[in-house]
Amino acid sequence: MVAVKGKMVMVGRQDGALFATEALCRHMRWPLAWGGKVKDGCVRCPLHQTTHKIEDGSLQEWAPFPLFPPFGKVVGKLSRQKDLTIYPVRENDGMIQVEF
Ligand code: FES
């Protein structure tokens, strides 16, 4: 997680390819770099398991955790469902460049 021009960005690699997303979970703003899992082309927040596709930021699953009802449903309704912002990123001369 890094600050770029006042924005918090999470930069990572998946299967050797760089990706850059907004750094904070769309559900309750948890920093995704703090325990988030990247798997199967998605990033999953460690708090309530909200999952977005890295390719386009589309929402895959919204706050399904905790699974024990009714808490999961209540936690999910604390904010509106949103996609994750994805930024174009490239490596150039040993530097990682993120475009806003
Ligand atoms: S803060 Fe990320 S899923 Fe709730």
Q: Mean pLDDT, consecutive 10-residue segments, the chain of 100 residues?
A: 92 94 95 96 94 97 78 78 97 93
47 in Cβ contact with 28 (< 8 Å): yes
Residue 28 Cβ < 6 Å to ligand 1: yes
The pLDDT value recorded for residue 68 is 65
Nearest CA among 28, 58, 60 for reference residue 46: 28
In tens, the pLDDT along 4-15 reads 888 999 999 998
Measured from the CB, is residue 63 less than 6 Å from ligand 1? yes
Cα–chain center distance at 51:
7
| 2-98 topology per CATH | Rieske Iron-sulfur Protein (2.102.10)
This model's pTM is above 0.75: yes
Q: State if residue 10 touches ligand 1 by the CB under 6 angstroms criterion.
A: no
Q: Which is nearest to 74 in space by CA: 60, 87, 63? A: 63
The Å distance, Cα 11 to ligand 1 centre, comes to: 18
Where are the chain's structural domains?
A: 2-98
Q: Is 62 in the pocket of ligand 1 (CB under 6 A)?
A: no
